[in-house]
Amino acid sequence: MYGIEFTPTAAQDLQYFRKFEQKIILDAIQIQLSYEPTVETNNRFRRSPPDIAQWELRTGVFRVFYNVDELVEIVSIERIGKKPNNTVLFRGKEG
């Protein structure tokens, strides 16, 4: 089982959302990234190019950008945003 850590920026991103949105995001992180976070699925994939982070998790309109250290089994959440259309918004502003 992988440990999950939030960067200070990601923690601030999470606080921007309403409580019920935070629960959706945190549940998705726990379910999707605790085991095999580097296995690609329809909602979890490697980013190309990796400008924000190496990996992206989609859960509805929310996007979680993360890196994985497989040696120590840590998932580092780098940013959390919302993508209502073709642009990812972080705390209500473009990336």
79-88 residue pLDDT tens? 999 999 889 9
pLDDT reading at 94 higher than 90: no
* Banded model confidence at residue 10, pLDDT cuts 50, 70, 90: very high
**Domain locations along the chain:** 3-94
43-88 residue pLDDT tens? 999 999 889 999 999 999 999 999 999 999 999 999 999 999 889 9
CATH 3.40.50.2300 fits 3-94, yes or no: no
Greatest pairwise CA separation for the chain in angstroms: 36
